[in-house]
């Protein structure tokens, strides 16, 4: 919905930071007023202090890298396999009939519910965490790509056929470029689940990572460190999202 032009602020881009500022202000006021025990609600300076400590000690960076690495590995695997499978399902009725019910079913199994199995199978190392991210995103990626393929306009495919195109070149030179914007967007959306899942995996069992840091902080009642973890997780997620948007804008100028 859009309001009439006159009532909209002159610099609407200020609204986002404004929303964040309001929450920060409320947080500061509440913690200054002393109404809430600092054990539950650490003050902004305390959180900043904790962030500084973790950053100087190199822990923050090591944790962030550990988490990002898991997400990257799991998601790269998921994205790389979902693309050909999604295209195959979207363009071939038999493959679609065979696999769609199966994938549709697995998609509704919450990925965290696989953690116990993954631990039994693969122990507590990196592999089960990477696989969790794979399981949590692969089926969504595949089904979203399949849908994008099904909506490629028939005229575009038939034109290619009458121009002398064969099946495989049509998939790579018509279908793939047409669905590129939707694929990038599907990756962007599902990346958010990957980022959520890595934290869940680390809460359960890990030596390092942002999720691990939060669960350690809980054990020692360090709410300030929990806040640091949450804020950093949010910021990294936001950066990844913005990265995907930038890729989309730059590579698919035709679609905007």
Give the nearest distance from C-beta 187 to another protein in angstroms: 18
Shorter beta-carbon distance to another protein: residue 175 or 204:
175
Give residues in contact with another protein (CB under 8 A). Answer: 153, 155-156, 158-166, 169, 173-174, 177-178, 180, 252-255
Q: Which helix (H) or strand (E) holds 178?
A: helix 176-204
Give the nearest distance from C-beta 252 to another protein in angstroms: 7
Shorter beta-carbon distance to another protein: residue 28 or 251:
251
Q: How far is CA 199 from CA 24, 71, 164, 171, 212, in A?
A: 24, 10, 50, 37, 8
- Are 99 and 88 in contact by the 8 Å Cβ rule? The answer is no
Shorter beta-carbon distance to another protein: residue 10 or 154:
154
Give the nearest distance from C-beta 183 to another protein in angstroms: 13
Residue-wise DSSP of 44-107: HHHHHHHHHHHHHTTHHHHHHHHHHHHHHHHHHHHHHHHHHHHHHHHH-HHHHHHHHHHHHHHH
Shorter beta-carbon distance to another protein: residue 5 or 155:
155
Give the nearest distance from C-beta 129 to another protein in angstroms: 37
Q: Match 């790269």 to its residue by tokens.
A: 76
């Amino acid at each position: 919905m859009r309001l009439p032009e006159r009532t909209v602020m002159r610099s609407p881009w200020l609204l986002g930071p404004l929303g964040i500022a309001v929450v920060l202000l409320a947080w500061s006021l509440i913690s200054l007023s002393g109404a809430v025990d600092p054990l539950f609600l650490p003050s902004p300076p305390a959180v900043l202090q904790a962030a500084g400590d973790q950053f100087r000690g190199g822990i923050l960076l090591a944790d962030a890298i550990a988490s990002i690495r898991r997400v990257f590995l799991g998601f790269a695997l998921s994205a790389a396999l979902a693309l050909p499978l999604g295209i195959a399902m979207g363009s071939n009725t038999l493959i679609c009939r065979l696999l769609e019910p199966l994938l549709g079913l697995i998609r509704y199994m919450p990925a965290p519910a696989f953690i116990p199995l993954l631990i039994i199978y693969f122990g507590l190392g990196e592999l089960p965490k990477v696989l969790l991210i794979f399981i949590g995103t692969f089926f969504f990626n595949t089904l979203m790509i399949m849908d994008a393929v099904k909506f490629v306009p028939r005229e575009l495919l038939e034109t290619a056929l009458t121009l002398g195109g064969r099946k495989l070149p049509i998939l790579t030179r018509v279908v793939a470029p047409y669905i590129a914007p939707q694929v990038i967007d599907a990756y962007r959306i599902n990346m958010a689940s990957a980022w959520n899942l890595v934290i869940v995996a680390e809460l359960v069992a890990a030596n390092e990572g942002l999720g691990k840091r939060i669960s350690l902080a809980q054990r020692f009642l360090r709410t300030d460190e929990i806040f640091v973890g949450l804020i950093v997780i949010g910021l990294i997620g936001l950066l990844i999202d913005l990265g995907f948007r930038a890729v989309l804008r730059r590579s698919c100028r035709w679609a905007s």
